[in-house]
Chains A and B, each alone.
Chain A
Amino acid sequence: MDSSRRHVLQLLGLSSLALTARPVLNAFAKEAEHAEEPKAVIKPNKKALTAKQWAMVIDTRKFESADDVEPLVEACDTIHNVPHLKNKRHEIKWIWETHYHNAFPGKAGQFLSEAVEHTPFIVMCNHCENPPCVRACPTKATFKRESDGIVLMDFHRCIGCRFCMAACPFGARSFNYRDPRPFIKETNKGYPTRSKGVVEKCNFCAERLAVGQLPACVEVSEGKLTFGDLYDAESEVRELIRTHYTIRRKQVLGTEPSVYYIV
């Protein structure tokens, strides 16, 4: 190769490098400018409900049949745009009904009281104080909110690895195996729909608490569910826990579930 040709090639290479470097430098310059500007602040709603650790007490004695559960599930699904998929493998469940044997495997004896045998048990995310799903997540897409202990999901950060699903000992998490939007009866514009390929679960209605409303299932339960601050000795949930014998799911695992059951 003669030297002039080599020279031209070198020049070409260098100039193309310069071209790619420019936008990068611009980006850095911009960042420095913005650093001076004040940070965006989210103004808290004055009506917002706050707690150190939200907790729920479910009075299973007040549930008699599926008719008592249906309105709760319906309220949750409607508000959170939970799709109704026919294929059982693709199901999305935030709050659902199951049997005592399944809610409390290992606690179920061969012979049970008739009431427990026939009572529908509702299950959901336990918003554990020590959540294994949060530990497992490689992107912090699921996290425990420090202000009130709710285990939340960032649907836009989730990479869909489903490590949290394997880590959750309560089967509380669902994965969008396909686009859920065609399976939502009526979309609630107040809450985001999800895309395929991300995990979702119950969020203790964080979006409702922020505007001073109780979780949807609690609101429609007519006193069957009670919601409050676990660390406020005067709260309703603490009052119930104080006056009743309560159990929690898989307490032996040390995840410290925040959902209590009166049986």
Chain B
Amino acid sequence: MLELAIKGGKKYYGWMTFLMVILGVGFLFYLRQLDFGLGITGLSRDTSWGFYIANFTFLVGVAAGGVMVVLPHYLHDYKAFGRVTILGEFLAIASVLMCMTFILIDLGQPMRVFNVFIYFSPRSVLFWDAIVLNGYLFLNIVIGWNVLEAERNNIHYQAWLKPLIYLSIPWAVSIHTVTAYLYCGMPGRGFWMTAILAPRFLASAFAAGPALLILCCLIIRRVSSFDPGREQIQSLAKIVAYAICINVFFFLCEVFEVFVVFYTNIPEHMDHMKYLFIGLHGHGAYVPWMWTSMAFMLIGIILTVNPITRKNEGVLAVACVVIFLGTWIDKGLGMIAGGFTPSPLHEVNEYIPSLPEILIALGVWAMGFLVLTALFKIAVGVKEELRD
């Protein structure tokens, strides 16, 4: 089926070239980073993780979000999603690839990455994260590819795929849970040490992933003769609506927890939230971002919960964009910077990503969308073949 990815028109190749250029720019800056070290980023002794790990965390969510089409289709036999399941699986593949790349470029010694497997360390959560991410990538490649090939040949997919499909559902939950444990297993980082972190990660994942999928479906309908379907998009929109509501609810739980802490006067938990939303010791670079994120998520809730706005696909597209951006700011920018500031010695040294850092990250996103476009091209190609 790979040949379908290279049969495209001018627009397709134009888009791919555009992504390739961004990827190239990012790669050049990455070469600079390899040569100089991570000093070209905005990271510091106090904020030792930043933009790369933030994007990694967000994209683990997008990858896990793919399960929101897999689960209703295979577990509840919701037939309508049969048309879009493959898109969810391919989105997961591209997202996990981006996650892995973000981890790799964040390493100070990337050529030593296999030490993680040579020096087996089951006590480290990072070890488990490597296991679950690789496993999820493997599952989605095997399942997606074989199911699509069977569909192309007009036969039922192989029986041995079924257990793998069932396995992929809890596995999707596991990737984001383990990623949350990376953060909440650390003593002395009050901001992350909350049991609600993993559920909140999942809720925002199940909003952001399907939101991106809706946008992809709307684009596919425009640029190809394959229509993912109105019912499918509306069902996805309802999933987004529930998930974003739960995400905001969990967030309020977190704030409430901090409020209680405030009431009992324990500053080590409260100061992180203060830093993000009102600023601390005169530092507040993230304050406008965090409020924008909150506003975006609220707008998203209003637009997706209200049936009149949800059923209008133009408005729905806007809702998906604001939800995607809102959750990205919340999880991407705020989650990491908020956790590291103030530092363990209670100093406020703000972290601002540097330009090379942002360009390298953009390059990774371009790489992901390059893979995503090629995979979607294959999937849509097969669907078009079947229709003809």
Chain A contacts to B: CB under 8 angstroms? 87-91, 93, 98, 101-103, 105-106, 123, 132, 135-141, 157-163, 165-171, 174-179, 195-199, 250, 253-255
Query: 24 A-B contacts, Cβ less than 8 Å apart?
Result: A89-B39, A89-B44, A89-B45, A90-B45, A93-B45, A98-B345, A138-B124, A139-B116, A159-B107, A160-B107, A160-B112, A162-B106, A166-B49, A169-B186, A169-B187, A174-B45, A177-B44, A178-B39, A196-B108, A197-B109, A198-B109, A199-B108, A253-B187, A254-B187
Asked if B39 and A250 make an inter-chain contact with CB atoms under 8 angstroms apart, the answer reads no
Complex: A158 Cα to B113 Cα, angstroms: 9
Contact in complex: A132, B267 (CB < 8 Å): no
With contacts A93-B45, A105-B346, A175-B45 taken as known, whether A136 is within 8 angstroms of B107 at the C-beta atoms is no
In the complex, chain B residues whose CB is within 8 Å of the CB of A196: 36-39, 108
Within the complex, what minimum Cβ distance (angstroms) separates B309 from chain A?
41
Contact B187 A177 (CB under 8 A): no
Contact of B116 among A159, A165, A174 (CB under 8 A): A159
Q: Do A177 and B127 contact each other (CB < 8 Å), given the known contacts A136-B186, A157-B119?
A: no
Contacts of A176 in B (CB 8 A): 37, 108
Knowing A135-B123, A169-B344, A197-B38, the reply to whether A175 touches B49 (Cβ < 8 A) is no
Interface of B is mostly: loop
Known: A159-B113, A171-B46, A196-B39. 19 other contacts (CB 8 A): A90-B45, A98-B345, A102-B347, A132-B186, A132-B188, A135-B124, A136-B125, A139-B112, A158-B112, A159-B107, A159-B112, A161-B108, A162-B49, A162-B106, A165-B45, A177-B37, A197-B37, A197-B108, A198-B108
Q: Which residue of A lies closest to B351 (CB)?
A: A89
A160 to B130, CA, bound (A): 15
- A106 nearest in chain B by CB position: B268
Are B108 and A91 closer than 8 Å at their CB atoms?
no
At the interface, yes or no: B115 with Cβ under 8 Å from chain A? yes
Residues of A within 8 A of B49 (CB): 162, 166
Would you list which residues of chain B between 153 and 194 have a CB under 8 Å from chain A? Answer: 182, 185-189
| CB proximity to A under 8 Å, residues B344-371 | 344-347, 349
What 1/0 flags go to B32-48 for Cβ under 8 Å of A? Answer: 00001111011111101
Q: Cβ of B121 < 8 Å from any Cβ of A?
A: yes
Chain A residues with Cβ below 8 Å from B344 are 105, 168-171
Q: Does B5 contact A (CB under 8 A)?
A: no
Evaluate contact between B37 and A179: CB separation under 8 angstroms: yes
Q: Are A177 and B107 in contact (CB under 8 A)?
A: no
Q: For the complex, is B126 an interface residue (Cβ under 8 Å from A)?
A: yes
B188 touches A169 (CB 8 A): yes
Q: Which residues of B contact A162 (CB under 8 A)?
A: 48-49, 106, 108
Taking Cβ atoms with an 8 Å cutoff, the residues of B that contact A are: 36-39, 41-46, 48-49, 103, 106-110, 112-113, 115-116, 118-119, 121, 123-127, 130, 182, 185-189, 267-268, 340, 343-347, 349
Instruction: Tell me how far the C-beta of B380 lies from the nearest C-beta in chain A, rounded to whole angstroms.
Output: 33
Contact between B108 and A178, CB atoms less than 8 A apart: no
Question: Is the CB–CB distance between B37 and A102 below 8 Å?
Answer: no
Residues of A within 8 A of B347 (CB): 102
Q: Would A88 and B349 be within 8 Å (CB), given that A166-B48, A196-B108 are in contact?
A: yes
Q: Please tell me if the beta carbons of B45 and A91 are within 8 angstroms of each other in the complex.
A: yes
List of B residues within 8 angstroms of A171 by Cβ? 45-46, 343-345
**Cβ-neighbour of A89 out of B43, B109, B343, B345 (below 8 A):** B43
- Write the nearest CB–CB distance from B126 to chain A, whole angstroms: 4
From A177, which residue of chain B is reached at the shortest CB distance? Answer: B39
Contact for B121 among A90, A140, A160, CB less than 8 A = A140
CA gap between A176 and B343 in the complex, in Å: 18
For A250, the closest partner residue in chain B by CB is: B188
CA A137 to CA B119, docked complex, whole Å: 10
